[in-house]
Copies of this chain bind each other. A is one copy, B any other.
């Protein structure tokens, strides 16, 4: 009557995909990025733990909140033993996400207000227009993609 491992405890990648809604390739990609670490069968196939579903849920939610995969990995790595986040971890993380969201919202609101003040002027001058000032630039330096609005 002791606990013995049920076969459903080890989940192959295809089922993982079905259960999370991700594609198989995306799951492999997340492993490559150290977001999940499945074990392997003797034949080198991935097997996931039940808790990995929760872990992937966390990744997907954090992504929706606007975190990049690298940032998500950092959050996960901060946890003791790099375990899947529990309720208390989630509280801490989500508070920090919340403040990032607020910052972003405030930034967009400032932009909108400038735009309002500018709609009538039509100056479009690099030197005078309020909308064009380096301090408030959203653009990062260097190459790579930028995308701010949906």
Contact = CB atoms under 8 A, between A and B. Distances in A.
Interface of A: 19-21, 53-54, 57-58, 60-61, 63-68, 85-88, 90-91, 94-95, 97-98, 100-105, 107-109, 111-112, 115-116, 118-126, 129, 131-132, 134, 136-139, 145-150
User: 10 smallest A-B Cβ distances: which pairs?
Assistant: A87-B122, A66-B149, A145-B145, A66-B148, A90-B122, A101-B112, A57-B126, A147-B147, A61-B131, A57-B124
A149 B11 CA distance: 33
For this chain, the copies found in one complex come to: 2
A91 B111 contact: no
Contacts of A102: 112
A97 B121 contact: no
